[in-house]
Amino acid sequence: MRASSRSVRVAVVGGGIIGVCSALQLANDGFEVVLYDPSPGGGASFGNACQVAVSSCEPVSVPGLWRKLPFWLSDPLGPVSVRWPDFPGLLPWLLNWGRSGRSDRVEMQSDGMQRLFSPGLEGYRNMLGTEEFDRLFRCVGSLFLLRTAPTGQPTKADKLRVRHGIPCEHLSAAEVLQFEPSLTPDARGGIYFPRNGHTIDPRDLLLTLLGRFDAAGGVHRAEQVLKVVSLPGGRLRVIGVFGTEDFDKAVICAGIDSRDLLKGLGLKVQMTAMRGYHLQIPEPNIMPRCPIADRERGCAVTPIRDALRVSGTVEFAAPKAPMSEQRAYVLAEKARQILPGLKTDDASVWMGNRPCLPDGLPIIDAAPGNSNIVLAFGHGHYGMTGAPVTAQAVGAFIRNEQPQVEMSPYRARRFLSGAVVEAAHFAR
């Protein structure tokens, strides 16, 4: 335990994978940590594709995206859709999303992805220990299907992978079927990424990390936070549904709900919910050897504990807009296209909100106007991958140290305006 940490109280608001990893990091550093979340292990950290995609380096917004977008949006069940009543509020975000896909920005964003993602699996091994890591993770790589025949010319994604030295194996159509005989014969090729891994149970992973946090002396409050207030002198007050408590420092990592917490502090962030769906098939009749992604179909299949998870699609909508369960059921058809003969009759469905910033990178930074508040949200599709390095950076900010990772790609001012409002008078 660090002697300087013993008397410092830290509130961590949000119990998804970012919050639980950050809380564990801080508890291990010797801080007195209270984690606020009514149901840790839920939300997007439960319902994601389960993958730790350490080889990912291609930003979500890339050159040419806008040419595809009108076609996608014309199909309400396509890989990308917009809930049209919410479109006016989404337009500023969508415009910035398009600007982030400019050629001159893609390499910088790719660099930011790799700094955050590359150590992901090793980070979990360090947090869990080898035995628990081996129980919860499978390091068998992942397969990316190609629906058009390779031209022989390197793509932008190929160039980014070379830039970062990411190992991968290009497979012909015949080699794809040899690798996974249950796959569709319409694949024209594939790319195998040997360094990628996945968890076989994301909820078990989060609860195991939460158990480590408890063992390190952390406290979990099963409580929703209504507001974080900045008090005179830099202290902070957390107002929950069951009570009020004061802290020296706080970490806001509540996913899409971070937007409302920041409003209470006088901050506005340009973050939206890319809602995702999954279909989970218990005891499937076909179980692939590793996760398989098909971008053109907007779908990924992941073998998890006693089930096959089919995840995908992007739906732009207000976080509390009604679920479109048909978008989940259409994943069954996509899964059968990828794995012909797959039975999906007993599948369950789920929907959740991925918190996304326009350039696809999160905010990991001290809040403008109060360095005692650390922000860590907006990981989009990659929260499971980026959580270990994010937690290390959060720990450094709370200790008033410089993180080991170069942090400029994740600065708050990219998409955040305002400064923390101090409460001049707040009755105790």
Tell me if 356 sits within 8 A of 271, measured CB to CB: yes
Sheet holding 236-240, edge to edge: 225-230, 236-240, 244-247
pTM of this structure: 0.93
19 inside domain: yes
How far apart CA 406 and CA 392 sit, in angstroms, is: 12
User: Residue 180 maps to which CATH number?
Assistant: 3.30.9.10
Residues listed for the chain: 428
**279 and 391, same domain (yes or no):** no
**Among residues of the chain, what percentage have pLDDT more than 90?**
73
125 inside domain: no
For residue 178, what are the contacts with CB-CB under 8 A and spacing of at least 6?
Answer: none
Query: Identity (one letter) of the amino acid at 128?
Result: L
Tell me if 250 sits within 8 A of 265, measured CB to CB: no
Mean pLDDT across the stretch 43-48? 90
**67 and 166, same domain (yes or no):** yes
**175 and 263, same domain (yes or no):** no
**264 and 276, same domain (yes or no):** no
Tokens encoding 290: 């590793």
Place of tokens 């360094």: 195
Query: Identity (one letter) of the amino acid at 98?
Result: G
**SS3 for 301?**
strand
Tokens encoding 297: 């179909």
**246 and 180, same domain (yes or no):** no
**39 and 88, same domain (yes or no):** no
Using 50, 70 and 90 to split pLDDT, how confident is the model at 3? very low
Give one DSSP letter per residue of 129-142, joined into a string: -HHHHHHHEE---E
State how many domains the chain has: 2
pLDDT of residue 67: 63
Using 50, 70 and 90 to split pLDDT, how confident is the model at 412? very high
Mean confidence (pLDDT) of the chain: 91
- Does residue 170 have a pLDDT over 90? yes
**163 and 65, same domain (yes or no):** yes
30: phi > 0 → left, psi -120 to 50 → alpha, else beta; which?
A: left
Q: How deeply is 113 buried, as exposed, middle or buried, from its count of CB atoms within 10 A (0-12, 13-18, 19+)?
A: buried
- Does residue 427 have a pLDDT over 50? no
**220 and 111, same domain (yes or no):** no
pLDDT of residue 428: 42
Tokens encoding 291: 């996760």
Kind plus residue range of the DSSP H or E element containing 349: strand 348-356
E-state strands within 253-306: 267-269, 272-282, 292-294, 299-304
Tell me if 176 sits within 8 A of 191, measured CB to CB: no
Report the chain's C-alpha Rg in angstroms: 21
Digit-coded pLDDT (tens) for 240-264: 999 999 999 999 999 999 999 999 9
How far apart CA 204 and CA 232 sit, in angstroms, is: 40
334 inside domain: yes
Tell me if 364 sits within 8 A of 410, measured CB to CB: yes
Domain of residue 65 covers: 59-115+137-199+272-356
